[in-house]
Amino acid sequence: MAKTSDPKHIMVIHGPNLNLLGRREPDTYGQTTLADIDSQLKKLGPQLGLEVSSFQSNHEGAIVDTIQTAVGNLAGLIINPAAYTHTSIAIRDALIVLTIPIIEVHISNIHRREPFRHHSYMADVATGQIVGLGVNGYYLALRAMAGLVGTS
Ligand code: CA2
């Protein structure tokens, strides 16, 4: 088992406004900051045989560009597309090209919120979805990813 010597690379992409996590709307999104989440994921990765990189952008095209870098470079992708979940055919089209596992994460339960949040353009393109479990959803996604890419 080559957990630390040959880690597989996982990218975590956070969509628009998630840079505000922990600083606004704590009732909906909790008190943990994005920096806290990213540093926890970076720490957890090696325990699962994974190397984790994170990227946040408020810009749709920048997210598309980052997804395109996955081809040939990544073992798996975890993405919270935030509001683009419900609007972005461009991000969906970028994801469709990938042949690696994709896990869609939402901190809140989008199905318990306004009707416009119930539809995800990513849901049927992703390998799986984790919603409504707070920021813990990211850590669960990384653990699930280790199973999907065969490091645990
Ligand atoms: O529950 C999620 O993770 C969402 O992807 C979060 C998005 C929302 O548009 C989706 O419907 C569900 C919003 C992210 C905005 O994050 C903020 C965090 C703190 C303060 C303000 C916004």
User: Model confidence at 28, in pLDDT bands (50, 70, 90)?
Assistant: confident
Res. 94: pLDDT tops 50: yes
Q: What is residue 4's predicted lDDT score, i.e. its pLDDT? A: 53
Interval 108-123 mean pLDDT: 98
Q: Check residue 2 and give its pLDDT.
A: 46
Rounded to an integer, the average pLDDT of 123-151 is 98
Within 13 Å of residue 72, how many CA atoms lie on the same side as its CB? 2
Give residue 6's pLDDT: 82
Ligand 1: residue whose CA is nearest its atom 9? 83
Q: Is the CB of 114 under 6 A from ligand 1?
A: no
Q: Where does residue 63 rank: exposed (0-12), middle (13-18), buried (19+ CB within 10 A)?
A: buried
Can 138 be counted among the known catalytic residues?
no
For position 3, what pLDDT does the model report? 54
Contact between residue 5 and residue 74 where contact means Cβ atoms under 8 Å apart: no
The letter for the amino acid at 146 is A
Claim: this prediction has a pTM higher than 0.75: yes
Nearest residue (CA) to ligand 1, atom 19: 21
DSSP type of residue 35: H
What is the number of helices (H) and of strands (E) in the chain? 5, 5
Task: Given the residues 14, 29, 84, 138, select the one marked as catalytic.
Answer: 29
Helix 60-68 / helix 89-96 crossing angle, nearest 10 deg: 0
The chain-wide mean pLDDT, for the chain, equals: 95
Q: Is 80 in the pocket of ligand 1 (CB under 6 A)?
A: yes
Dump pLDDT digits (tens) for 29-53: 889 999 999 999 999 999 999 999 9
Question: Under a CB-based contact definition with an 8 Å cutoff, are residues 28 and 106 in contact?
Answer: no
